[in-house]
Amino acid sequence: MPLYKSIHLNSQTIVKVWKISEPLESLLYSTDLNFESLERVNGMNSELHRRAFLSVRMLLIEFGYSDSDLFYDSFGKPYLKDGKYVSISHSYHFSALVISSVEVGIDIEKQRSKIIKIASKFIGYETYYLDEKDPFQIQKLTWVWCTKEALYKLYGIPGTNFKKHFIVLPFSTDSNKTIAWIVRKHNKLKFIATFMEFEGFGCVITEPEI
């Protein structure tokens, strides 16, 4: 089994990353899907998406869960039947799953120069410390994007604007953590963002600061 990483982030939160290298048939054979999940897989046109979906079910098995333990609300946010918090992400040949006793979000993205072109769509406050001449610009933009995407998955309220409602405080490439905020209406929520990097991918996990 290509379990790529398993990290105890702290006493409450565990992260597991899967490197998707198996053929589709092998993943299908190794997972016991309920009827709804099987319909979802069969309805996917992309084999890459099918394999990513099934690799997440393999990660559930690594955590001791089954496909039937996972369900989604009307907005597509995942939950576990035992009440634990869960978040899911996948990008190309990696998938990631985080499970915690506190609200949690995760996002994984391939680091690509394309992110420079779309930065204006999600960068707000961060323009004060991000420098387009920085040799680590792509890496930092990817981490900011991942942080905001992970916050969105955690917050789960439609209409939230990445540029307006999410704030990522300054960080250096030597650090693996920063502070992030969700600021919306009269609410101001503080989170810890933890960075990981591997094989040209960025990954961020967000949790409330306790």
What's the pLDDT tens digit per position in 18-35? 999 999 999 999 999 999
Integer angstrom CA distances of residue 110 from 12, 64, 182: 27, 28, 24
- Extract the tokens encoding 182: 């969700």
CA distance 109 to 197: 10
CA 127 to chain centroid, in Å, comes to 23
**Mean pLDDT score, 168-175:** 91
Q: CB–CB of 84/101 below 8 Å?
A: yes
Domain locations along the chain: 3-101, 107-208
* Token pair 């933009």 in the structure block, residue: 141
* pLDDT at residue 1 tops 60: no
Q: How confident is the model at residue 184 (pLDDT cuts 50, 70, 90)?
A: confident
Give the residue with greater pLDDT, 187 vs 125: 125
* pLDDT at residue 125 tops 80: yes
**Mean pLDDT score, 136-146:** 96
So what CATH class is 3-101?
Answer: alpha beta
**Mean pLDDT score, 95-109:** 97
Q: CB–CB of 196/154 below 8 Å?
A: no
**Mean pLDDT score, 143-166:** 92
pLDDT of residue 170: 96
* pLDDT at residue 156 tops 90: no
- Extract the tokens encoding 70: 């996972």
User: What is the pTM assigned to this prediction?
Assistant: 0.94
